[in-house]
């Protein structure tokens, strides 16, 4: 059975001794961040931190929820993160049925997805308390780094609705708290919610927005997933948790939010209103600068009777978001293979903080194949943000960065094998000359053929004779080791 809510997951983590409770008073201004940063950089990502007593608020704070590979697997209820990708692959690679029995089997496998559709409910834990006089200062919202422009809500699930199609979207965007009733809304220009925002602006209408804080782990993770435009993240969450997500209509709008949320902020955005947002110490390890972003007005706060406030602290890797990024790498690899079946594996190194580097191994079939993959990936959704794409042969284990680096640095002719291009870059990229547009590089580190201009034979890789290896293995103890 899927986790019923966030606290159900936390109870399991405590039972497995993966959660540490801090009972002394702690300050949400910088102190919680420093404690969390040290924990997230400890062995294997450390433990989940549960702060029972937070200065200025009666609500406990929990951080580092997803900050290890083990906890990401527990969150998605799998033994290995690749298991989710295999489920996706099975769903999309159904072979055409040949017999009546196979037709029936395929039919039931395909309609199984209907059970993942969100389920509407009337009574919800997230609406146990309804406050029509909202005050954000009552929440234990963190200030994480010294030069941050203020406190930021860092793990929000932001729900918006397309004014034309009526379809909902859920994304995760930081929220700079200005005062008791307003925050910034850091919508990147390339994101789905920003597209909804532009549509409301063109229509000249006020935009309803609701923000859920805290839910079961599959729902929280789904808010970060790079899904195609128009795909409901709550359906994907249902797929991950193998059961529908229960949704409830908000008090002040038609937007629906997860019924098991801890806290919900209901409000609106006036598309004509912008305000300085930032700076903020982001997952790149640098401060993102002040810029103009929409303003979210809170008109109602609903919550459980005794809510828990989850937050994430981002900064220099490795931190919690790195493990969420690695989950995305494994889960969405099969979708890349649907477009490029020649892809064997992919590694998005933590040091590249999601978009800065992608290493791809392929089954090379023809001259220029590596460069074809580079250009193709730059045209695939959020892969367009990749500043560096390295393509290697199928016999290279891209998860072994040392061996990969050895192969790349030895196999590349920098004049022949490098592509320099321009295109969209991530909103948080600070190295480009202008915001959201900059240079990127592709490196084709595959073995080259005569057809690719190689004027001599590619050398053989050094390998020991198998009989000698077996002999040395048998005599190893004789050598005194």
Q: Quick count: other Cβ atoms within 10 Å of Cβ 207?
A: 23
Q: Write down how long the chain is.
A: 481
User: Exactly one of 148, 282, 426, 444 is catalytic; which is it?
Assistant: 282
List of residues 6+ apart from 150 with CB closer than 8 A: 143, 176, 177, 178
321 is catalytic: no
Are 351 and 428 spatial neighbours (Cβ–Cβ below 8 Å)? Answer: no
Q: Is 108 helix (H, G, I), strand (E, B) or coil?
A: helix
Are 76 and 221 spatial neighbours (Cβ–Cβ below 8 Å)? Answer: yes
DSSP string, 293-342: EEEEEEEEEEE-SS--EE-----SSSSHHHHHHHHHHHHHHHHHHHH-TT
Q: Identify the sign of the CA torsion 283, 46, 156, 197.
A: positive
Peptide bond into 279 cis (omega under 30): yes
Regarding beta strands 437-444 and 388-393, do their DSSP bridges make them parallel or antiparallel, or are they unpaired?
parallel
Question: What's the angle, vertex CA 122, arms to CA 59 and CA 114, rounded to 5?
Answer: 105
Cα separation, 111 vs 241, in Å, equals: 17
Cα separation, 416 vs 407, in Å, equals: 16
Are 380 and 339 spatial neighbours (Cβ–Cβ below 8 Å)? Answer: yes
298 backbone φψ class: left, alpha, beta (φ>0; ψ -120 to 50): beta
For 173-196, give one letter per residue: b (16+ CB within 10 A) or e. bbbbbbeebbbbbbbbebbbbbbb
CA-wise closest residue to 138 among 311, 307, 381: 307
List of residues 6+ apart from 333 with CB closer than 8 A: 82, 85, 343, 345, 346
Mind telling me the catalytic residues? 282
């Amino acid at each position: 059975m899927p986790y019923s809510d966030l606290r159900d997951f936390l109870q399991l983590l405590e039972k497995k001794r993966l959660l540490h409770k801090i009972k002394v008073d702690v300050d949400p201004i910088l102190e919680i961040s420093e404690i969390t940063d040290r924990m997230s950089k400890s062995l294997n990502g450390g433990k989940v931190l549960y702060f029972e007593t937070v200065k200025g608020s009666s609500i406990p704070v929990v951080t580092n929820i997803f900050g290890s590979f083990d906890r990401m697997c527990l969150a998605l209820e799998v033994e290995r993160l690749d298991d989710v990708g295999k489920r996706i692959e099975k769903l999309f690679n159904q072979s055409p049925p040949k017999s009546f029995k196979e037709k029936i089997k395929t039919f039931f496998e395909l309609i199984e997805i209907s059970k993942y559709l969100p389920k509407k409910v009337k009574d919800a834990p997230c609406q146990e308390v309804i406050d029509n006089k909202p005050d954000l200062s009552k929440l234990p919202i963190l200030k994480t780094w010294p030069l941050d422009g203020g406190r930021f809500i860092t793990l929000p699930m932001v729900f918006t609705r397309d004014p034309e199609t009526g379809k909902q979207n859920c994304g995760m965007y930081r929220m700079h708290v200005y005062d008791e009733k307003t925050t910034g809304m850091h919508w990147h220009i390339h994101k789905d919610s920003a597209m909804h925002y532009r549509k409301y602006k063109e229509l000249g209408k006020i935009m309803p927005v609701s923000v859920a804080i805290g839910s079961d782990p599959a729902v929280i993770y789904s808010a970060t997933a790079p899904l195609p435009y128009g795909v409901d993240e709550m359906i994907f969450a249902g797929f991950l948790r193998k059961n529908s997500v229960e949704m409830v209509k908000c008090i002040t709008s038609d937007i629906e939010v997860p019924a098991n949320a801890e806290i919900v902020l209901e409000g609106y955005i006036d598309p004509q209103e912008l305000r300085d947002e930032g700076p903020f110490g982001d997952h790149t390890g640098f401060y993102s600068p002040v810029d103009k972003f929409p303003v979210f007005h809170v008109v109602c706060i609903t919550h459980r009777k005794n809510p828990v406030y989850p937050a994430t602290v981002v900064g220099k890797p490795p931190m919690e978001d790195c493990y969420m990024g690695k989950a995305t790498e494994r889960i969405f690899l099969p979708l890349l293979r649907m477009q490029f079946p020649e892809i064997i594996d992919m590694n998005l190194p933590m040091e590249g903080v999601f978009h800065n580097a992608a290493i791809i191994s392929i089954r090379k079939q023809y001259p220029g194949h590596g460069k074809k993959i580079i250009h193709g990936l730059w045209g695939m959704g959020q892969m367009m943000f990749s500043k560096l794409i390295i393509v290697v042969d199928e016999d290279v284990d891209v998860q072994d960065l040392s061996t990969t680096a050895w192969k790349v640095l030895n196999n590349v002719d920098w004049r022949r094998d490098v592509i320099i291009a321009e295109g969209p870059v991530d909103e948080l990229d600070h190295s480009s000359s202008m915001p959201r547009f900059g240079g990127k590089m592709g490196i084709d580190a595959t073995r080259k053929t005569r057809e690719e201009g190689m004027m001599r034979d590619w050398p053989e890789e050094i390998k020991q004779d198998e009989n000698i290896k077996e002999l040395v293995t048998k005599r190893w103890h004789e050598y005194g080791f």
